[in-house]
Amino acid sequence: MTQYGFYFDSSRCTGCKTCELACKDYKDLDQTTAFRVVYDYEGGSFSGSGNQLSQDVFSYHVSRACNHCDEPACLVACPSGAFSKDSDTGLMVIDEEVCIGFQACINACPYKAPRFNKETEKARKCDGCINRVKQNLKPICVEACPLRALEFDDIDVLRSKYGDNASIAPLPTPDETMPNLVVKMAPATKPSGDTIGILANPKEVD
Ligand code: SF4
Ligand code: SF4
C-alpha cells in the first residue's frame, strides 16, 4: 500500500485561505463547515522606549486538513467502525452509512478534522479527495494553492524531499496520532506545544 500524505510549506503560505475555499466549493460544504482550515498564529511584544524599541513579534499561518494518521484516534474512538484506511492510498475514509452520529471521532481527533453534519447527524471529513487521487489527480486544495505551499504525494517521497517534521504550533504534537504530514518551518514558526503565541482566528477554525 502506498501511504499518501500532505506537505505544508509555512515559508510560502500567505494565509489567503484559497485552499480552504476550494475544498468547501468542491465538497459543496455549508457556510459553517470546512474540511481544510487555515490557522493564523501570532505573538511576541515590543519593549524599550523612544528610538530604542526592540521586538520579537511573529505571525504565520498553518493550513491543515485530515492527516490520514498512522495511529488514527478517530478510528480507535468510533464505536460503529465507520472509519477505515483505504487499502490503495492509506487515506482515512468515513462511511457515513455506518456512522451513528455519536461524535466520538470529533472529540478524539486532536486536529479536529471530523465535522458534524447537523442535517444528516453524521460525521464527515477530508478524504484526501480520494476519487481524484485514484485518477492520478491531486487533492483540490493542493491544486488551488496559488503559492504552491501544499503538496500531496507518497509520504515516503515527501519525507525524503523535505525531512520528517510535523511539529508546528498550533497543531498538536505529532506523536499523538503519527500524522502523514510533513511541515517546512519558516523562521517565524514555533513547534507544537508553543506557549508564547496565540491563535488569532479561533472562530474561523472552530
Ligand atoms: S487527523 Fe484526525 S480524523 Fe484524520 S486520521 Fe488523524 S485522527 Fe483521524
Ligand atoms: S491556499 Fe496556499 S497560501 Fe493560501 S492559505 Fe492555503 S496553503 Fe496558504
Which of the four CATH numbers 3.90.1170.40, 3.40.630.30, 3.40.50.10210, 3.30.70.20 does domain 4-42+59-205 have?
3.30.70.20
Instruction: Give the pLDDT score at 76.
Output: 98
The atom number, within ligand 2, closest to the CA of 20 reads 6
**Ligand 2 pocket residue status of 89, Cβ below 6 Å:** no
Question: Three cell numbers at 28?
Answer: 459543496
**Ligand 1 pocket residue status of 177, Cβ below 6 Å:** yes
Instruction: Give the pLDDT score at 50.
Output: 87
Burial 62-87 (b: 16+ CB within 10 A, else e): bbbbbbbbeebbbbebbeeebbebbe
Q: In this predicted model, what pLDDT tens digit does every residue of 143-186 receive, in sequence order?
A: 999 999 999 999 999 999 999 999 999 999 999 999 999 999 99
Instruction: Give the pLDDT score at 51.
Output: 87
Instruction: Give the pLDDT score at 112.
Output: 97
Ligand 2 probe mutation, 147, 181, 189, most atoms within 8 A of CB: 147
The atom number, within ligand 1, closest to the CA of 114 reads 3
**Ligand 1 pocket residue status of 109, Cβ below 6 Å:** yes
**Ligand 1 pocket residue status of 91, Cβ below 6 Å:** no
Q: Is there a cis peptide before residue 170, judged by omega within 30 degrees of 0?
A: yes
The closest alpha carbon to 176, from 191, 163, 190, 166, belongs to: 166
The atom number, within ligand 1, closest to the CA of 68 reads 5
145: number of CA atoms within 13 Å, CB side?
26
Report the separation in Å between the CA atom of 6 and the middle of ligand 1, taken as the mean of its atom positions.
13
- Ranges of residues in the chain with a pLDDT under 50 are none
The closest alpha carbon to 182, from 156, 143, 145, 205, belongs to: 156
Inter-residue contact 46 to 186 (CB < 8 Å): no
Assessment of whether the complete model's pTM goes beyond 0.85? yes
**Ligand 2 pocket residue status of 37, Cβ below 6 Å:** no
Report the separation in Å between the CA atom of 204 and the middle of ligand 2, taken as the mean of its atom positions.
15
* CB count in 10 Å sphere of residue 200: 15
**Ligand 2 pocket residue status of 160, Cβ below 6 Å:** no
